[in-house]
Amino acid sequence: MADREELESVCKRRGFVWQSSEIYGGEAGFYDYGHLGAKLKDNWERSWKEYFLSLGDHYHMIYTPNILPYRVLESSGHVDHFSDILITCKRCGNSHRGDHLLEDITGESAEWMNKDELSDHILEHDVKCPDCGGDLDEPEDFNMMFEVDVGPKGDRKGFLRPETAQGSYMNFPREYRALRKKMPMGLATIGSAFRNEISPRQGVYRLREFRQAELQIFFVPGKHDSVFEARYQELEKKNIKLLRSDWEEQKEVSLDELDDLPVFYRYHLAKIYEFYSEVMELPHDEFRLRELSEEEKAFYNRIHFDVEVHMESLGGWKEVAGLHYRGDHDLGQHQKGSGQKMSIPIDGERLIPHVIELSFGVDRNIWSILDKGYRTGDRDCMKISGSLAPYKVAVFPLVRKDGILDRSIEVYEALKSKFSTFWDKSGSIGKRYARQDEIGTPYCITVDYDTLEDDTVTVREIESTEQIRIPISELSETIESLIKKEKGFSS
């Protein structure tokens, strides 16, 4: 495992991610993805869509604007309640996020505390300004939304959206009709969200502009249970690791043991667990599902589990996603604010659907892949799932003479139409392997003199560095099977 400084260094040097506007000194809370980071992010988003949209026949992608009218976010509660607690130093005037100040002193989460609780704890621990050691002013609420003026005269107010989910709620009635009133209905979206963080820190973990991938599933409890129960039958004996709010440590349990949770919630917990273990290929002891306590979760969330990944570069367990049962809160708020019906007719009555929300921070998940994947020591290596890696395969000529260079180009051209493929002729073969190891390319192919004789090539696997010899005619099929984990790598 690498520390944060080492990981940030390789991310900049190789083209993954770095602070935006770097040539002007950068601005906290904004980051750019380089050529490898963009490939990794695109692969993750594609895999997310393929996996979660396949959970239901009536789950679909939508895309909505980044700017929302004032009334939308007033109805949702963001105008009045979307705040962090700001604390200003009386001496130097620098601003700090209150829960972060306390967490740095105690090592425990303070995100759930209100202003009065934070103030009491800051006095108890005699917390001072970390910049100058001065006394701190009383905590105050700070709304994190970016306000924008709409129209040539700027007479209409709006906000950059603080989350992508509101677009799904507003589009529910139209999509319900367009999709022929079939339920449960899922509306997914991937896009940018914006939060004017008081003191963004820890790199891409806390940004002012970031990407979210969210799936809102609309259903009516008691009316659509059979759909979820049918899906659940496939998974009911599955074991998952989680940490309940009243447990001291996480345990491995079967889904049936979680019988205090609704079937629809257990099903989605299991599918999220499967995504992290089988698609992202994170070790089971390096991520967990943690239930939030009553004090931690939002008042409208009836059940709330976070997905947390243990990241060495960020000092421990960090939230990357969440599964929230939000009841009918969201559609109810927009029905009240807009005057438009969000209820649907079922069995002779009109009912407002409930929502299960699957919410993922794209940037946080990308960083978790880099954190868990990068290893230093005798050999620097980035281990990334084959389906997510920026390049799936690299092709090298052993030497640049005797027809080997031209043959390697032929192999490269044949593979690049199917896989993201890199070709490299520069430096020794050892240096070329090392470069690909550092960016997470799972398989390297070397064209050599034997290739000219028998049309076979050497394939090297990144983690074990083991090599096998296979015919070029079988190369594409073999690489595809290896990436899909349909066969193991063995000589």
What integer is the mean pLDDT of 457-473? 95
What integer is the mean pLDDT of 394-422? 96
CA distances from 55 to 107, 215, 233, 268 (A): 38, 11, 14, 9
Closest CA to 317 of 43, 103, 84, 118: 103
Cα–Cα distance between 52 and 105 in angstroms, integer? 39
* Tens of pLDDT, residues 210-252: 999 999 999 999 999 999 999 999 887 789 999 999 999 999 9
Cα–Cα distance between 18 and 14 in angstroms, integer? 10
In total, the chain counts a number of residues equal to: 491
The number of C-alpha atoms within 13 Å of 331 and in the hemisphere containing its C-beta is 24
CATH topology agreement for domains 4-67+163-375 and 391-483? no
- The domains of the chain are located at 4-67+163-375, 89-135, 391-483
Given this structure, which CATH class describes domain 391-483?
alpha beta
Q: Where are the alpha helices (DSSP H) in 219-280?
A: 225-232, 263-274
The model's pTM is 0.94
Beta strand pairing call for 83-88 and 59-61: unpaired
* Start-to-end C-alpha separation, the chain: 28
List of residues 6+ apart from 279 with CB closer than 8 A: 47, 51, 385, 387, 388
Contact between residue 469 and residue 457 where contact means Cβ atoms under 8 Å apart:
yes
* Tens of pLDDT, residues 1-31: 678 999 999 999 999 999 999 999 999 999 9
What fold, for 4-67+163-375? BirA Bifunctional Protein; domain 2 (3.30.930)
Cα–Cα distance between 354 and 328 in angstroms, integer? 4
Strand partners, 184: none
